[in-house]
Chains A and B, each alone.
Chain A
Amino acid sequence: MPSDPIPALAVTVDSAPVLAPRTLEPAMERLEPSVRTVWRAQVALWWIPLVLAAVVYDVTQLVRGAGPFPFAVTVVAALAAVWFIGVLPALRYRFWRYAATEEALFAERGWFTRVRTVVPLRRVQHIDVAENLFEREVGLARLVVHTAGTRNNTVVVPGLRRERAEALRDAMRAYLADDPL
């Protein structure tokens, strides 16, 4: 490792440093498993009413006189719901990895499109720790990192324990050195 010009701030949580030492190949961490529940709940909020609506529609069609495929709409909606509620959150969870070093935030995710993003901490404009109702229920939060870029204007790491997200934020802040555009 080259000489270390940044004085290390030993920010500690559970007696372990929050940020890994600088490296281009950090050990990647997984999200909290309970994030799947959060994602499922969020998606279910939309899909369950949709499936119910499909059932109502199909029943009314049935009353009016059945077509060749009764309950076709329901079946399609139910399959989609199973995919979006049952399968996709698990896939998303399976492919999500992140790592935070003293230099950068690494985020890897995506089932269909697999993306690996490196956000140098120098480039971070500001940081949010955000949580919605579902996340709060299971004690999770999202770390939202904003840069001055366009496509990667915001990079979100979901499914972190709230304390972990806050510790990451506080540790990262020390490394957001002033670097004019």
Chain B
Amino acid sequence: MTPESAPTPAAIPFRRLHPTTLLQGLLRTLPGFVVLLIPVLAGRGGGGHRFFLAMALLYALIGLPATLLAYLRFRYRITPEQVEIVSGILSRQHRSIPIDRIQRVEVDRPLLHRLFGTARVRLMTGSGTGAEGELDAVALDDALAFRATVRRLQARLEQPADPAAESTGVPVEAEEPEAEEVFRLTPGLLLRAGAMRFSLVYIALAFSGMQFVGLTVEDVVDWIERTNLIARIPFFDLSPLLALAFSVGVAVVLSWMAGLLVTVVRFHGFTLRADARRLYTERGLGGRFERAIPRSKVQAVLYGTNPITRRFGYAQLSVQTMGLDDSGAGREVVVPLARLADVSALSGRLLGHPAAEVLRPVSRRFVRRRGLRYTVYVVLGSLLASRVWEPALGGLALVPLAWWLAWAQWRAHGYAFDGRVLVVQHGALWRRQWHLPLAKFQTVERWANLFQRRLGLASVYVDTAGAPDVGAPVVEDLPEEEARALADRLYGAFEALVRARPEPPLPEPALAESPPVPPHGGRLPGEDGEAGTQNSTW
């Protein structure tokens, strides 16, 4: 029976999974069970014997009934508007996935399923967290029918003229057949990109690499002396600290060369092309790597700089994407290195809007909070380390550095919102500037912890699809009133944008007799007695 033959959504019955789900579930736990029983089966007695028997008993008393109950509890159904899944034994869950949110229906058949003639159905909504709904083991025909039903329902919901979808992109001529080249990384830029790369990771790697090949500080010194690269420097013998500094210097040079090499290999011949719908990047030495990024999937644009590129007026441009592949979220470099002006012009083209030039600083009390926090880290770290290694107490000398860092971070931190794009910048050394277009906002959040409240501060954050968890574009420590006003403005602007858009019609349950929809404006409360029964269908 296919669901759409049912008269009304409310009457569509919930279905269970295929009965062999139960058997399959048990089979899957069997290997673990056998491992548990090996000592018993092997006949080796002793004290452990009873323990393993007890485990087996536990499995029989808890594991088996749990599998059975989980099977009995699990129900699903597909109505014209949504897929509903009821599951859970102790913690129960009733999940509703709107049909139009389902991006993919995967039907696959791992070994066990093939043996039993069943299939597994997984529903992805593109929120990037794996399958939002999973039907483990339904009959193959049912699985295929399920997928077909979802597709048919989606086709029905789809509007004839796809509105809104591309309206956030740049209005480039839609008829353009060839993607236009937007950026090319010249050999000169490539070398500069490599040379200005500045990564602690590589320094650490170089160091551990030296450790790995057994290259000690003394070896390096010896080697330099032997090869007469530089004249024998007698003061190496005087102080181990000097030798250490020299070794660090070698690590830095090695890492610099490694960074240069990696950059050249990675970005050799990099080009960026764009048409109305997609961005195309091409890169790589030897093998060519091509990537197409649908412009509608671009969630945010960000500039990255480090102290060296900043000093010379260069930046890197990346886009934050969503739903490009199975991993969902990601960041793609679209310009490895270019003059800041070029980067900003390109980002303006991507967002269809020039970037805000002037950023508003956050409260100066930011420095106090950060400085205190880093001081606590430094002091605690030094004290703890000094219990193991006495000289670590010297770490306390880093306290001024902590305050300098806090101040530098305050200087780097700022935001701007012109009604269309939220710009957030942070990072004292590696600096990032995020450009979040209004149309891609997910949620707006404002918070203040106890310490912030004491100082009259609050933070504001706009969540986007694919945003990083660590280093997210939070506007930290605004004065409370400003934070409140900003959050309200951000959400207000988002709703204004949404209201201004052509409204997609509400999903019409055309497949079934639709329940009586009240006229615009609703009905008077209690006007008719059916109001109560209607609740469950809408």
Contacts and interface: CB of A to CB of B under 8 A. Distances in A.
A10 B522 contact: yes
A66 B318 CA distance: 64
A146 B132 contact: yes
Given A10-B522, A15-B525, A118-B443, A150 B94 contact: no
Contacts of B453: 114
A8 B504 CA distance: 14
A69 interface: no
A150 B538 contact: no
A139 to B, nearest CB: 13
Interface in B92-136: 92-98, 100-101, 125-129, 132
A115 B525 contact: no
Contact of A119 (B128, B443, B492): B443
Interface stretch (A30-38, A46-54, A173-181): A173-181
A2 B461 CA distance: 27
A132 interface: yes
A4 to B, nearest CB: 8
A16 B518 CA distance: 15
A12 B447 contact: no
B472 A151 contact: yes
Interface string A127-163: 1111111001000000000111111110100000000
B101 A125 contact: yes
A6 B504 CA distance: 9
A119 B94 CA distance: 20
A118 to B, nearest CB: 5
B444 interface: yes
B208 interface: no
A125 B38 CA distance: 46
A113 B449 CA distance: 4
B487 A126 contact: no
Contact of A170 (B323, B466, B536): B536
Contacts of B506: 6-7, 9, 174, 177
A11 B467 contact: no
B448 A114 contact: yes
Given A150-B469, A179-B164, A9 B443 contact: no
Contacts of B443: 117-120, 123, 147, 149, 152, 155
B504 A180 contact: no
B307 to A, nearest CB: 28
A77 interface: no
A5 interface: yes
B94 A128 contact: yes
Given A114-B453, A126-B98, A130-B93, A181 B495 contact: no
Contact of B466 (A24, A150, A167, A178): A150
A57 B536 CA distance: 54
Given A126-B95, A126-B96, A126-B101, A24 B492 contact: yes
Contacts of B463: 147, 149-152
A123 B442 contact: yes
Contact of A152 (B81, B91, B129, B442): B442
B239 interface: no
A105 to B, nearest CB: 9
A181 B299 contact: yes
- Which of A15, A115, A181 has the most CB atoms of chain B within a 10 A radius of its CB? A181
B525 A11 contact: no
B440 interface: yes
Contacts of B82: 173
A13 interface: yes
A173 B98 contact: yes
A132 B91 contact: yes
Given A115-B445, A171-B538, A176 B491 contact: no
Interface string B492-526: 10110011000110100000000001101111011
Interface in B409-448: 440-448
A150 B464 contact: yes
A103 interface: yes
A150 B92 contact: no
A180 B442 contact: no
Contact of A132 (B90, B100, B329): B90
A148 B97 CA distance: 13
Contact of B520 (A7, A133, A146): A7
A131 B91 contact: yes
A15 B531 contact: yes
B125 A126 contact: yes
Nearest to B525: A15
B129 A103 contact: no
Given A103-B495, A114-B448, A151-B463, A12 B128 contact: no
24 contacts: A15-B525, A24-B492, A117-B445, A118-B491, A120-B491, A125-B101, A125-B125, A128-B93, A128-B94, A129-B93, A130-B91, A146-B132, A147-B443, A147-B463, A148-B126, A148-B128, A149-B442, A149-B465, A150-B472, A152-B463, A155-B443, A177-B504, A179-B164, A181-B299
Interface of B: 81-82, 88, 90-98, 100-101, 125-129, 132, 157, 164-165, 296-297, 299, 322-323, 329, 440-450, 453, 461, 463-469, 472, 487-488, 491-492, 494-495, 498-499, 503-504, 506, 517-518, 520-523, 525-526, 531, 534-536, 538
